[in-house]
């Protein structure tokens, strides 16, 4: 599997996800600089990492959506290359229109860094084949703007087309208001594009993919990609 990680000025989880990719696939990703519109050839996966692209002094991801590299990402996505956006990457993908909806400021208006529980809503994806349907996993979030919103038509399409991949839930798997850390619509933590090849999620699977860090629930996501794309 050949992957690339986009590096914007202000990306700060680029190395973290590169470590996870290398640990899972045995092959380090290409670190692709934001100013270069031409992505490497023969890519199987593009990762838009977490961080604060361009400082995110405007709406999160708004500047990065106009970076030269995103032209390449959009073209790759059109060709069917898998795209994974984590945290800031999810925000960027929404800003570029590769994913529907938007991420607003957290309900409590504070940055929040903690482990949350997610229910795997579908395993019919390139990204979640190694999870069980309905499986509850523990993954950290770290964001100020993770409150997912979408209009009614989008909300219905996401539901009808089985495109909600992860929902915030309690440890027992119940999707409750208390388990929703940021006020997201229907506890949505991650969604797919219509073609099911683009995934955006606010939680950071790369942060719990190593037993030394206290958990490995993020690892199957990378393992799923490896199997689906190799």
Partner 1 sequence: MTTITPNIIAEHGLTAEEYQRVLDILGRAPNLTELGIFSVMWSEHCSYKSSKKWLKTLPTSAPWVIQGPGENAGVIDIGDDLTAVFKMESHNHPSFIEPYQGAATGVGGILRDVFTMGARPVANLNALRFGAPDHPKTRHLISGVVAGIGGYGNCVGVPTVGGEVNFHPDYNGNILVNAMTVGIAPADRIFYSKASGVGNPVVYVGSKTGRDGIHGATMASAEFNADSEEKRPTVQVGDPFTEKLLIEACLELMATDVIVAIQDMGAAGLTSSSFEMASKGGLGVELTLDRVPMREEGMTPYELMLSESQERMLMVLEPGKEPVAEAIFRKWGLDFAVIGHLTDTGRMVLTWNGETVADLPIDPLAEAAPEYDRPWEPTPPAPVVDAADVPEVPWTEALPALMGSPDLASRRWIWEQYDHMVMGDTVQRPGGDAAVVRIHGSERGLAMTTDCTPRYVRADPVMGGRQAVAEAWRNLTAAGARPLAVTDNMNFGNPEKPLIMGQFVGACQGLAEACRALDFPVVSGNVSLYNETEGRAIPPTPTIGGVGVIDDLDRMATVTFKAPGEAIVVIGERPDTRESGWLGQSLYLRELCGREEGAPPPVDLEHERHVGDVVRGLIQAGRVSACHDVSDGGLLVAVAEMALAGDMGAALTLAAPSAAALFGEDQGRYVVTVPAEGVTGLLAELGTLARHIGDTGGTGPDAAITLGGAEVALSDLRAAHEGWLPGVMGA
Closest CB 125 distance from partner 1, rounded Å: 24
Structure tokens at 139: 């993954």
Burial (CB count within 10 angstroms: exposed 0-12, middle 13-18, buried 19+), residue 123 = middle
Judged by beta carbon, residue 75 or residue 174, the one nearer partner 1 is 174
Judged by beta carbon, residue 16 or residue 217, the one nearer partner 1 is 16
Alpha-carbon span 83 to 77, nearest angstrom: 7
Closest CB 189 distance from partner 1, rounded Å: 17
Q: Does residue 204 bind partner 1 (CB under 8 A)?
A: yes
Judged by beta carbon, residue 14 or residue 95, the one nearer partner 1 is 14
Alpha-carbon span 69 to 136, nearest angstrom: 35
Helix, strand, coil percentages in the chain from 3-state DSSP, rounded to 5: 30, 25, 45
Q: Which of 16, 44, 95, 121 binds partner 1 (CB under 8 A)?
A: 16
- Could you give phi then psi for residue 161, rounded to 5 degrees? -95, 10
Q: Which stretch binds partner 1 (CB under 8 A): 38-46, 73-81, 138-146, 163-171?
A: 138-146
Q: Which of 26, 41, 114, 152 binds partner 1 (CB under 8 A)?
A: 114
Do 25 and 3 meet the contact criterion of CB atoms below 8 Å apart?
yes
Site of tokens 């838009």: 48
Using CB under 8 A, list all residues that contact partner 1. Answer: 9-10, 12-13, 15-16, 19-20, 50-52, 54-57, 108, 110-114, 140, 142, 144, 204, 206-207, 210, 212-214
């Amino acid at each position: 599997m050949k992957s690339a990680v986009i590096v914007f000025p202000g990306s700060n989880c680029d190395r973290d996800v590169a470590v996870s990719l290398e640990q899972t696939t045995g092959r380090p990703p290409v670190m692709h600089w934001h100013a270069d519109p031409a992505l490497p050839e023969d890519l199987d996966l593009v990762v838009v990492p977490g961080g604060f692209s361009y400082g995110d002094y405007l709406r999160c991801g708004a500047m990065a959506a106009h970076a030269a590299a995103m032209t390449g990402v959009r073209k790759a996505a059109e060709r069917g290359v898998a795209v994974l956006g984590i945290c800031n990457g999810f925000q960027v993908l929404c800003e570029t229109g590769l994913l529907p909806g938007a991420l607003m400021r957290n309900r409590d208006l504070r940055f929040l860094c903690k482990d949350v529980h997610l229910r795997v809503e579908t395993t019919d994806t390139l990204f979640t084949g190694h999870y069980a349907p309905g499986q509850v996993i523990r993954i950290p979030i770290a964001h100020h703007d993770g409150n997912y919103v979408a209009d009614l038509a989008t909300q219905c399409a996401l539901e009808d087309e089985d495109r909600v991949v992860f929902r915030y839930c309690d440890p027992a798997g119940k999707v409750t208001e208390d388990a929703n850390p940021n006020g997201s619509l229907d506890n949505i933590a991650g969604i797919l594009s219509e073609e099911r090849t683009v995934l955006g999620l606010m939680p950071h699977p790369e942060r719990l993919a190593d037993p030394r860090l206290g958990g490995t629930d993020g690892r199957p996501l990378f393992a799923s990609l490896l199997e689906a794309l190799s």
